[in-house]
Amino acid sequence: MKRYSAFALAREAFRNHSGWERAWRAAVPKDEYDVVIVGAGGHGLATAYYLAKNHGISNVAVLEKGWLGGGNTGRNTTIIRSNYLQDESAAIYEKARSLYETLSQDLNYNIMFSPRGVLMLAQTEHELRAWKRTAHANRLAGIESELVDPQQIKKIVPIINLDGPRYPVLGGLWQPRGGTARHDAVAWGYARKASAMGVDIIQQCEVTGVDRDANGVTGVQTSKGAIRCKKLCFIVAGSSGLLAEMAGFRLPIESLALQATVSEPIKPIIDCVVMANTVHGYLSQSDKGELVIGGGTDGFNNYTQRGSFQHIEETIRALIETFPVISRLKQLRQWGGIVDITGDRSPIIGKTPVPGIFVNCGWGTGGFKAIPGSGWATAEMLATGEPGVLAQSFSLDRFAEGRMIDESVAAAVAH
């Protein structure tokens, strides 16, 4: 694989950019792999990369029914933060956030990580108390995050309306090194490096069945034929329940549509990410100048990848209360993804009832930020057969044992 560099750019400029290689190989499936990963989203690709990099395991296939990064990884609003309440969550999200800091250098691919700061508004007394508690918990966990008052908020976001008609802004939780990254680039960067290390990424290859014998998994059936494997990992977000059903077990996951929208591009008006959880809407500005706006999930399970209209209307209404300055802005595009939600709003990384089958899912509305940490932890589990320190609390058993990692009470929304 040729390195991307200023020198390579200059060299290609002199020969009409004819020397660039394909970013990743178009692999043809082999008969057998040590590990098969289903789903070429950020989590699946990061897992494959860290399997090769950290554990020297590259006889790995990543099978993708559509195109690489075409699931939620290419549909999210790219918010990155790690100021979660529970210790287990803070650990894995902070591992991810810290890996994001140097991911462009590690992958030799510009993922456009922008630590512009994330502000989560408190618009009720309850929310203010919750953020106070989170700020204390974060300090104990060594995570940089602080409570800010309305005057500090006005300085950070001059366009904000502190005295909204329904809920005034009472304070906020501010993580200065939170921010955004280019979502496609995260998938493309991991794919390029994993492919160069020998991982086969096979697109247009839908898994349609799971083969098993009395000892556990033996392989998968796909739209490109049967593939044998020693270990199998489902990393398919909103399709997790469907894959589990193929393997003969059930997951405590609900699949719901979550949507986002972007406005026409305008000059810079906001240089951080703001989340207004009570009125429910969040906002940042892309490098192109578009306002990137996200809302809540549909109130019913579905696989539509679109989302219902009233939700987007509610989100825009909420944001106009918080930022009246955007009231006449036109929206350019709207889209949706299918998110995989657990009862405690925390992910599942662990073994399943079928020996040899592992799962990584349940990231719900907030898994983009976790991609590097999740890939790191899942690769460790696949390499050793057991979850390591980062993953062990997120096992499937916790639902049977009542060991919840409850982020729903803590945050109500988890983007």
Ligand X SMILES: Cc1cc2nc3c(=O)[nH]c(=O)nc-3n(C[C@H](O)[C@H](O)[C@H](O)COP(=O)(O)OP(=O)(O)OC[C@H]3O[C@@H](n4cnc5c(N)ncnc54)[C@H](O)[C@@H]3O)c2cc1C
Count of residues of this chain found to bind ligand X when the rule CB under 6 A is applied: 40
Give the CA-trace dihedral at 219, 337, 190, 356, to 10 degrees: -20
CA atoms of 226 and 20, how far apart (whole Å): 34
Residues 242-271 that bind ligand X (CB under 6 A): 243, 258-260
- 111 contacts 42 by C-beta, under 8 angstroms: no
92 or 258: whose CB is closer to ligand X? 258
| Strand partners for 341 | 254
The stretch among 28-36, 77-85, 144-152, 191-199 that binds ligand X (CB under 6 A) is 77-85
Helix (H, G, I), strand (E, B) or coil at 411: helix
Nearest distance from residue 93's CB to ligand X, in Å? Answer: 9
**Each residue of 352-388: b (16+ CB within 10 Å) or e?**
bebebbbbbbbbbbbbbbbbbbbbbbbbbbbbeeebe
315 binds ligand X (CB under 6 A): no
CA atoms of 341 and 412, how far apart (whole Å): 12
CA atoms of 403 and 406, how far apart (whole Å): 9
Instruction: Give, in order, the Cα–Cα distances in Å from 236 to each of 68, 296, 339.
Output: 12, 21, 10
Residues 349-388 that bind ligand X (CB under 6 A): 363, 365-369
207 binds ligand X (CB under 6 A): yes
170 or 338: whose CB is closer to ligand X? 338
Query: Locate tokens 């825009």: which residue?
Result: 316
Residues 138-167 that bind ligand X (CB under 6 A): none
118 or 170: whose CB is closer to ligand X? 118
Instruction: Give, in order, the Cα–Cα distances in Å from 230 to each of 17, 58, 209.
Output: 42, 13, 16
Nearest distance from residue 35's CB to ligand X, in Å? Answer: 15
Task: Give alpha helix (H) positions in 118-162.
Answer: 125-140, 150-156
Q: Which two tokens mark 23?
A: 């970013």
Among 58, 73, 89, 322, binds ligand X (CB under 6 A): 73
Residues 44-63 that bind ligand X (CB under 6 A): 44, 63
- 193 contacts 46 by C-beta, under 8 angstroms: no
Among 24, 57, 65, 277, binds ligand X (CB under 6 A): 65
Residues constituting the chain:
415
Among 36, 52, 64, 348, binds ligand X (CB under 6 A): 64
397 binds ligand X (CB under 6 A): no
78 binds ligand X (CB under 6 A): yes
Nearest distance from residue 250's CB to ligand X, in Å? Answer: 17
Among 24, 49, 70, 396, binds ligand X (CB under 6 A): 70
Among 111, 148, 236, 244, binds ligand X (CB under 6 A): 236
The stretch among 68-76, 99-107, 134-142, 225-233 that binds ligand X (CB under 6 A) is 68-76
Which residues in this chain contact ligand X in the complex, by CB under 6 A? 38-44, 63-66, 70-73, 75-79, 206-207, 235-237, 239, 243, 258-260, 294, 337, 339, 363, 365-369, 415
